[in-house]
Structure 1
């Protein structure tokens, strides 16, 4: 990582790991369950001024980051469900995340709504992954932002990395 990327990628870039052991999947499932609580603990009692902080010049606010994670994790959930139910690699949904963050709900809505989404969504994802046959972890969908086919094993890793990545941004903004 280049020095100027340390605030943009405070935990490093997503690894793109392709093979996962059963233990690594179990760890990711537990991380899925734990992350919403970390978001809630860090953000639910913040003032409007604290929610308006950014982690680097021109970046999203803390409030926008929480809403962004809820938005994009819903996309991941739907991509995963499509990969499990469609016979071929499912097309990926993608939208302009910057414009989503500028909409009234991404810009002004209290974070409680997105914290509730993350709690329910991560619980559903964790349950789904706990009950998937191992062979289903090799099913894939096309990830339009990364422009690659992502296995469901990679997808859980990506969701966990994404949540940790933006949690690190929030910590940077608040310190």
Structure 2
């Protein structure tokens, strides 16, 4: 029972599920989710106190502040990966230690407002570049050194839409559990 509860805290919307097909409708819907993520996140966190921002979403998990900063860092990496993939032949992307990044002082103590602003501009650019990918571009891929696998751009659109929603659910579920609404 405790293992199931921990899994629900770790993955409140479930783990990413690869779609049966990457239809144009699926891609458009995921890009729309990516485009709206910063505003949805801001709406959930802009009125939280410093104490609430420094509350972990689960035991031994990141604080809300760390989650917000992590989303920006992860999605910046997504943007750079797309640019590499569009300009190089199946590049091997750089892996980063997100757990170590989240333990750095900026992730632990920096105000969230600059990161929320960064996410607005970043997600505008992500959605813009994603909307303008051709069918050939969507099939271009990069190699992820940690997974030793190749990922097509169409795949990471779904993955990063899920990623934003996944971390947003960490925040909304914590707010519900603590009656912060």
In the alignment, the residues of structure 1 paired with residue 156 and residue 88 of structure 2 have an alpha-carbon distance, to the nearest angstrom, of 16
Q: 2:35 is matched with which residue: 33, 36, 43?
A: 33
Deviation (angstroms), 1:67? 0.2
Output the CA distance in 2 between the equivalents of 1:69 and 1:148.
23
TM-score relative to the length of structure 1: 0.93
- Note the C-alpha offset of 1:104: 1.2
Which residue is 2:57 aligned to?
55
Once the two structures are superposed, the pairs formed by residues 48-127 of structure 1 within 5 Å of their partners are 48-87=50-89, 89-127=90-128
* Structure 1 residues 57-108: Cα deviation after superposition (integer angstroms, max 9, x where no partner): 0000000000000001001110111000002x11122211111111111011
**Is the alpha carbon distance of 1:15 and 1:146 closer, same or farther for their aligned partners in structure 2, counting shifts above 3 Å?**
farther
- Point out the more displaced range, 67-76 or 164-173: 164-173
Deviates more, 1:146-155 or 1:65-74: 146-155
- The SS at the match of 2:143 is strand
Provide the aligned length of Structure 1 versus Structure 2: 174
- 1:116/1:51 Cα in 2 relative to 1: closer, same or farther (>3 Å)? same
1:147 Cα deviation after fit: 3.8
**Structure-2 change in CA distance of 1:37 and 1:75 (3 Å):** same
Q: 1:142 to 1:2 in 2, by over 3 A?
A: farther
State the Cα distance separating 1:148 from its structure 2 match: 2.2
5+ unaligned residues in a row in structure 1: which ranges? none
Contact 1:17 1:154 in 2 (8 A): no
* Mapped partners of 1:17, 1:10: distance in 2: 19
Q: Quick one: distance in 1 between partners of 2:67 and 2:122?
A: 17
- Give the distance between the partners of 2:20 and 2:111, measured in 1 at CA: 37
- Segments of 5+ residues of structure 2 without an aligned counterpart are 177-181
What is residue 140 of structure 1 aligned with on the other side?
A: 141
Normalised to the residue count of structure 2, the TM-score between the two structures is: 0.90
